[in-house]
A = this chain, B = another copy of it.
Amino acid sequence: MIITRQADYAIRCVLFLASKPVGIATMIGEIADSMGIPKSFLAKILQRLSKAEIVSSIRGVRGGFVLKRDVSDINLLEVIQSIDGPVAINRCAIDKHICGRSCNCSVHPIWIKLRALIQDYLSAVTFDKLVDTKGSIGTQKISLEGEIYGQRLSVR
């Protein structure tokens, strides 16, 4: 029900790269230090992000990583999926064949719908909406204004 640490690391990593000037490669070590990620673990994560065409790697001396696409063209959903695989709350929403009851199950459609809801939400969050919001949540494009369960959302 919870994304893995790897996926959270991946998001941090993309967020960090998104804050860098385009065209400047960043080494694994720098990302790892800045974002508090174990370096050799991050190396693995970047391999997956690379396969998903979210980042580009540059090998050799003076190498590193760069975002492969514009920040506005990378969203939370695909970063998570590139690491954790399909997003869903129950497995049957990913593949109904893994459960023999799915055809007669009245709960199954709930998971399908909820999955769509979550995916829609996550895919709408692109990284241009996440960068440079530090310390200013509430005044930004992401509609977080208002209250959630009586608690004012504020990041300081």
In the bound complex, CA of A4 to CA of B90 (Å): 8
Q: Give, as a whole number of angstroms, the nearest-CB distance from A109 to chain B.
A: 5
A24 within 8 Å of B (CB atoms): no
A107 within 8 Å of B (CB atoms): yes
What 1/0 mask marks residues of chain A from 1 to 41 whose CB sits below 8 Å from any chain B CB? 11110001001100100000000000000000000100000
A61 within 8 Å of B (CB atoms): no
Q: Given the interface contacts A110-B76, A133-B106, A155-B105, does A116 sit within 8 Å of B148 by beta carbon?
A: yes
Q: Given the interface contacts A114-B122, A121-B114, does A89 sit within 8 Å of B142 by beta carbon?
A: no
Contact A112 B148 (CB under 8 A): yes
In the bound complex, CA of A105 to CA of B15 (Å): 10
Contact B108 A155 (CB under 8 A): yes
Interface size class of A (residues with CB under 8 A): 35 or more
Find the residue from A76, A130, A155 having the highest chain B CB count within 10 A.
A155
Residues of chain B with a CB closer than 8 A to A11's CB = 107
For the complex of A and B, list the 4 residue pairs with the smallest distance between their C-beta atoms, beginning with the closest: A106-B133, A106-B130, A116-B148, A109-B142
Q: Give, as a whole number of angstroms, the nearest-CB distance from A43 to chain B.
A: 21
Q: Give, as a whole number of angstroms, the nearest-CB distance from A39 to chain B.
A: 17
